[in-house]
Structure 1
Amino acid sequence: MIKRKINRYDIEVSDKLRHTYKPFATKIAEIILMEEVGDIQILRTMSDCIIELEKLKEQYQNELIEYKKRYGEI
């Protein structure tokens, strides 16, 4: 476990993330405020975020393709 000191910046970022009410942002906000954080916990959370971002990217790309089919090039 990594022992660290929580500073003002960490608290501000955590508050901003928490106020989005999004599941991954809330989880990251919790991790930011932990004094002891394990590397595996950080990696798992980052992995979950990356997987979700890839899903969103694919969704938006599909929507763009559909838009181009329907309305032509932008």
Structure 2
Amino acid sequence: MEPILKSILTCPNCKNAREEIMPTDACQFFYKCSSCEAVIKPFEGDCCVFCSYGSVACPPIQASNSCCKIS
């Protein structure tokens, strides 16, 4: 099964939601909101911002693998 690569990230500060394409070769540890410019990072225990704030978990988690390296 092919992983879903698009996820809607929702900023926890301003609630702005934006569709983003997830990287397949690394986790995205930081994300700068395009609306309020807050830099967000994952919750403790999550590997990336998509797992914490996205509508879809990152590709390695979708595949039931351990997550990839931090970028």
Band the TM-score falls in, shorter-chain normalisation: under 0.3
Compare relative contact order (CA 8 Å, sep 6+) and give the higher one, 1 or 2: 2
The structure where helix makes up a greater share of residues is 1
With normalisation by structure 1, the TM-score equals 0.25
**Structure exhibiting the larger radius of gyration computed from Cα positions:** 1
